[in-house]
Amino acid sequence: MKRCWSWLLAVPVLLLGALAALPASWLSVPLSDLTQSRWQLSEVQGTLWSGQGRPVFVAEDGSVLAMSRLAWQFDPLALFKGALGWRLHTDAGTGSLRLTPSSWQLDNISLSLPVAAIAGLSDTWRAARLGGLLKLELQSLAHGRDGFSGSARVSWLGAASPLTRIRPFGSYQLQVNGQGPALGLKLQTLSGPLQIDGQGQWQPGKLPDFGGSASSSADAYLALRPLMLMLGRPSGPDRVSWNVQTGV
């Protein structure tokens, strides 16, 4: 009987030891698969147990744009809930990741993002050479047997483009909500003369179905017109419509 208990205790110890020895680069695999290789993990150091790296966005032209560094440390307490868990450390604080064979969950994540992470959704947005600061704030976002749940928020602050002399031309917020098989997307204007709004959804493996409009006040229209015509198609005297799925 004692020998039986010894084996039962030895198995999880051996599994944890094997996990600790796995290279940290393995973490890049699910991230790359989920985002069709658009997001990857570079400058990786350490192991799956404890390490650090830098998430990067890879544009269609092959250019690489980096986020702030991310460090992680294995959380053994998650094992009591039937999951693998890590504490995630960024410049903004500490969050967590939980993985099971059929699900993942992220909590309390705050990161800076390259603008191309959103601009890259559309050829025309990318051509407008959009600039500014993107911030990701994620309280809880998960994916399991029933699809996506939870929410996240991406703020685009100090939006700019060489196509207009008005800098910044606005600040915006993209709300992301889990809606079963898809992520719901809603874009709204926080401030600025260029009013942009939109809504839609995205499912893994498919193009985003995401569209809306951009409009300007009469006194700012001439300065914003080149940018607006790059972002969408005219749908009124001071308004354009855009749709990411068609690349417009």
The answer to whether 165 and 223 have CB atoms below 8 angstroms apart is yes
pLDDT at 16 over 60: no
| Predicted confidence (pLDDT) per residue in 60-101, tens digit | 677 777 777 889 999 989 988 889 899 999 887 899 999 999
pTM, to two decimals: 0.79
Task: Name the average pLDDT for the chain.
Answer: 83
Q: How far apart are CA 10 and CA 4, in angstroms?
A: 10
Per-residue model confidence as pLDDT tens digits over 85-96: 999 998 878 999
Classified as helix, coil or strand, 87 is strand
**b/e per residue 4-42 (b: at least 16 CB within 10 A):** eeeeeeeeeeeeeeeeeeeebbebbeeeeeeeeebbbbe
Helix (H) or strand (E) holding 224: helix 221-231
Lowest mean pLDDT among 37-51, 165-179, 191-205: 37-51
H or E element that contains 86: strand 84-90
Closest by CA position to 181, among listed 164, 157, 156, 201: 201
Q: Are 199 and 187 in contact (CB under 8 A)?
A: yes
Residue ranges per structural domain of the chain: 115-248
